[in-house]
Amino acid sequence: MSTESPASHQTGGASSCRGADVGPAALEDCLGPLLSRCRWDCDAVPEAAARAARCVLPALTTLAALRPLLGPWDGVVHRRCRLVPLDVTAGGAQAGGGAGFLTADDAGAAVPSGGGTRGAPAWVQAPGGWRTLTVSLVAGPIRVTHWLARREGTGAGLRPGTGARGVLPPPAAACPATARDPGEDRAGRCLRLTAADVAAWARATGDRNTLHLLPGAAARAGLSAGGADVVAHGTLLAALSLAVAPAQRADLRLLAPAVVPPDGLPLHLAPGGDVVSGGRLLLRRR
C-alpha cells in the first residue's frame, strides 16, 4: 500500500491523463496489496489481481480515450459502466485494439458520432444542476458503455465553497441502493480502503480527477462528502468487484459515491461482485 499523501500527486483534467500508458502490470501492482488485505490466500493474490486487471482494462482504456474530448475532467462522476463482448467473427472488434467511440442515448443504445474519436460527445442537461453523458466505445473485442455526470460549475476552475449540492440523477434502469439488504449474504471478502489506495489507483490509471485526490473536492463538486474526504474511482470498485467475480460481460452500476474519510472506508465484496460499505450498496453487479 502506498504511504504517499494523495495531495502530493498531480491532479487536473485531460492534460494529466496518460491514455495508452494504462497497462495491466500497473493495475496488478495496485490491486495485489488490496486483495492481500481481504484474507485472500497469498498464492492466489497474483492470479486474482491479473484476472481483475484484464477484465477492467477495457473500461480504463476507453475512459483514457474519452477524457481528452470532455474538457476539464475534474468533478466528473462515474455512474455506471457496462462491458459487452463483441462478435469478432462478424467484424465487430476494433482493428488494432484501439478505442473508437459511438455516442449513446441514456439507455445505452449506440448512435454513430460521425466523427470517430475526433468528435466530442455532448453533455445533456439533467435535473438538479447536473449534466449527464452516456457514450459507448470499443476497445479490442469489448464494447464499453460509460454513464458519466458533472455538476454545473464544477471542473478545473471550481473554487472552495462554490459547489452546491443536488441530487445526482441515477443511471438508466438503476436499482435503488436499498433494494436488497446487503446483510443477507455476509460471505465474501472485506477490506478497508484508504486515501493512499485511491492515490495509487490514480497513478496506475492516469485518472487524476481531483475528486479522488484532493480532500474536500468531492464536497465542492456537489457530492455528499466531508471536507477531509476523497471519493474512490468507480473503476477501482469495478476492479475489486471483478476480482471476486471475474467476467468479460458485466454491468457495474455505481449507486452511491465511495466516500473515503481519513481513517478509511470499510468495504465488503460479495461473492456475486456487489460492493457494500456499512450496509449501503455502492456497486451493484448485473
The contacts of residue 61 (CB under 8 Å, 6+ apart) are 20, 22, 99, 139
Rounded to two decimals, the pTM is 0.79
Of 30-39, 45-54, 122-131, 146-155, least confident by mean pLDDT is 146-155
Grid cell 467484424 in the structure block, residue: 91
> Would you say residue 220 has pLDDT above 70?
yes
User: What is the per-residue pLDDT for 89?
Assistant: 63
Q: Identify residue 233 by its one-letter amino acid code.
A: H
* Residue 269 C-alpha from the chain's centroid: 16
Q: What is the mean pLDDT of residues 132-142?
A: 93
Q: What is the mean pLDDT of residues 94-109?
A: 43
Q: Identify residue 88 by its one-letter amino acid code.
A: V
Of residues 210 and 3, more confidently modeled: 210
How far apart are alpha carbons 25 and 38 in whole angstroms?
Answer: 21
The class (CATH top level) of 16-157+178-285 is alpha beta
Of 19-28, 52-61, 97-106, 143-152, least confident by mean pLDDT is 97-106
Q: Identify residue 211 by its one-letter amino acid code.
A: L
> Would you say residue 186 has pLDDT above 80?
no
Q: What is the mean pLDDT of residues 241-252?
A: 96
> Would you say residue 208 has pLDDT above 70?
yes
User: What is the per-residue pLDDT for 13?
Assistant: 33
Range of 66-80, 127-141, 258-272 with top mean pLDDT: 258-272
So where are the chain's domains? 16-157+178-285
Q: What is the mean pLDDT of residues 229-246?
A: 97
Instruction: Give me 177's grid cell.
Output: 441502493
The closest alpha carbon to 190, from 53, 48, 49, 35, belongs to 35
Q: What is the mean pLDDT of residues 253-275?
A: 96
> Would you say residue 18 has pLDDT above 60?
no
**Averaged pLDDT score across all residues of the chain:** 78
The DSSP letter of residue 250 is: E
pLDDT band at 178 (very low <50, low <70, confident <90, very high): very low
* Tens-place pLDDT, residues 112-127: 333 334 467 889 999 8
> Would you say residue 265 has pLDDT above 70?
yes
> Would you say residue 4 has pLDDT above 80?
no
For 89, the enclosing helix (H) or strand (E) is none
Q: What is the mean pLDDT of residues 153-163?
A: 40
Share of the chain above pLDDT 70, in %: 69
Dihedral sign for Cα atoms in the order 47, 52, 57, 60: negative
User: What is the per-residue pLDDT for 168?
Assistant: 56
Of 14-28, 153-167, 213-227, least confident by mean pLDDT is 153-167
Helix, strand, coil percent content, the chain, rounded in steps of 5? 35, 25, 45
Instruction: Give me 20's grid cell.
Output: 495508452
> Would you say residue 285 has pLDDT above 60?
yes
User: What is the per-residue pLDDT for 154?
Assistant: 55
Of residues 145 and 101, more confidently modeled: 145
